[in-house]
Amino acid sequence: MSKLFEPFSVKNLTLKNRIVMPPMCMYCAPNGTPEDWHFTHYATRAIGGAGLIILEAVGISPEGRISDLDLGLWKDDQGVALRSLAERIRENGAKAGIQLNHAGRKSEVKDIVIESAEALAYDANSRVPVAMTTADIRETTEEFRAAAKRASDAGFDVIEIHAAHGYLLNQFLSPLTNNRTDVYGGTPKNRARFLGEVLEAISEVLPPEKTIFVRVTAEEYADGGNMPADLAEQLNFVKDIGNGIDAVDVSTGGLMPAVPKAFPGYQLPHAQIIRERTGLPVVGGGLITTPTEAEAAAAEGKVDLVFLGRELLRNPYWPLTAAMELGDDVAWPKQYERAKPRSSK
């Protein structure tokens, strides 16, 4: 069997393969709750054979959303609706993850006060955020706690904390956007403090066996910004807090308006460095489109899990056809068995 289709286990979670659909915003939830689109979209990828599906960024508060069309989890009724979505994913063969987020200065929600580590706008066309006080940080930490409890009660297998792509926790982690002089700024350890407090808070309301991922931006594509070794150092400060970090979902960019030079697997070296320096399992990828690229990433030990974003948007059944190409005999949905090729590599 190929490495890509080997099961992967952490804590009480076992994925049937190492293919992950990462969070990708759909921007179609005007009330913060899933629409028919979400049920069709996510269930189709589960039917298609992905091992883990992580929902798009879910706002922990109204002002924490990236846009006013994002999913939310600041109310109990949102948790009830998301429970149905998690069940739909699982009943179609995949494990269900959810990404909890606060957008900070990158929120585009109208008529709100946006917040960040300090009063620095994302770019010349963006609003200037308010620098968060200690009380603001504590309030937001409590919002992460409450959202994590709702997510766990809704039955999600993985809770992912979004500390990447220039959103609030990334804004605190980076020296480019955090020049605070209190306990939340200055040193790498202080800049990781907010993330550590969020991990501690959610651990108080999650079962010890619940799997926790953290998504990070391992390179900010700007002079003086964090690089993979910097993120590994910060993760080492917080990885054992509370129930601990079980895996790191490694991405890049988003903090500054910079465009990376992207190519198939361009984020894999960043993930490999974080894996080696933290000892934690990692999820990595970046424009991977072919089964051979995904298999190489897993087989060569660069990552433990491989995420495919755009490719799974194009082809929700990619895992089924990838298995055939790699010579693996995996189960197809019984409704589709008549279409399963009878010969393989």
pLDDT digits (tens, 9 = 90+) for 303-323: 999 999 999 999 999 999 999
pLDDT tens, residue by residue, 124-155: 999 999 999 999 999 999 999 999 999 999 99
Q: Exposure of 77 by Cβ count < 10 A (0-12 exposed, 13-18 middle, 19+ buried)?
A: exposed
pLDDT of residue 343: 57
Q: Which of 48, 155, 41 is nearest to 97 (CA)?
A: 155
Structure tokens at 207: 């079962």
Q: Which of 145, 217, 213, 141 is nearest to 177 (CA)?
A: 217
The identity of residue 305, as a single letter, is L
CA distance 191 to 147: 23
CATH code of 3-339, in short, is 3.20.20.70
**CA end-to-end span of the chain, whole Å?**
12
Structure tokens at 246: 């079980």
pLDDT of residue 37: 97
Q: Which of 191, 249, 198 is nearest to 225 (CA)?
A: 191
- Find the angle CA(96)-CA(101)-CA(103) to the nearest 5 degrees: 150
DSSP annotation of 121 reads -
Contact 66/59 with Cβ under 8 angstroms? yes
CA distance 77 to 64: 18
β-pairing, 13-15 vs 8-10, is antiparallel
Q: Which of 303, 304, 300, 330 is nearest to 318 (CA)?
A: 330
Structure tokens at 151: 């997510």
Contact 343/18 with Cβ under 8 angstroms? no
Contact 46/16 with Cβ under 8 angstroms? no
Cβ neighbors of 335 (< 8 A, separation 6 or more) are none
pTM of the predicted structure, to 2 decimals: 0.97
**pLDDT lower than 50: segments of the chain:** 344-345
Cβ neighbors of 105 (< 8 A, separation 6 or more) are 114, 115, 116, 120, 121, 122, 126, 127, 129, 168, 171, 177
pLDDT of residue 345: 47
pLDDT of residue 259: 86
Q: Is 97 helix (H, G, I), strand (E, B) or coil?
A: strand
Place of tokens 């759909």: 26
Give me the residues paired with residue 216 across strands.
163, 250
pLDDT of residue 342: 78
CA distance 77 to 172: 30
pLDDT of residue 71: 98
Domain boundaries, the chain: 3-339
Helix (H) or strand (E) segment spanning residue 151 = helix 134-153
